[in-house]
Amino acid sequence: MPIRKEDKIILKCTNCGFEEESSVTVVKEYRVTASIPAESRVITTSVVSEATGKKLRRKEEYEQEREEYYEIALELLQEELEGVEREEE
């Protein structure tokens, strides 16, 4: 892999670290190119309709309410169990 050290171009092995001075012609031959497909270069956006947004919001609200009811049920169950334990004593 070509690297620049003190204004000189040096070829350096990435496995063992061996370094060797290089000429410009060797470095020009060592070009790495990558082509990116046109469809991945295009940025697409989506528009969320008002109906879809409300549907998503409703689902989130439903999940939040479900969690709240679950927490309340656990608290009531815990209070009931504590009351039963006190009566037994």
Model confidence pLDDT, tens digit, residues 42-85: 777 776 666 666 777 788 888 889 999 999 999 888 888 887 77
Is a pLDDT exceeding 70 seen at residue 27?
Answer: no
Q: Is the alpha carbon torsion for 68, 70, 73, 74 positive or negative?
A: negative
* Domain presence at residue 40: no
* Domain presence at residue 66: yes
Residue 12 sits in the same domain as residue 52: no
pTM: 0.35
CB burial readout 48-67, b (16+ within 10 A) else e: eeeeeeeeeeeeeeeeeeee
* Domain presence at residue 38: no
Residue 49 sits in the same domain as residue 27: no
What does the pLDDT read at residue 67? 92
Task: Give the range of the structural domain holding residue 23, as residue numbers without chain letter.
Answer: 1-32
Q: What is the domain count for the chain? A: 2
Residue 89 sits in the same domain as residue 49: yes
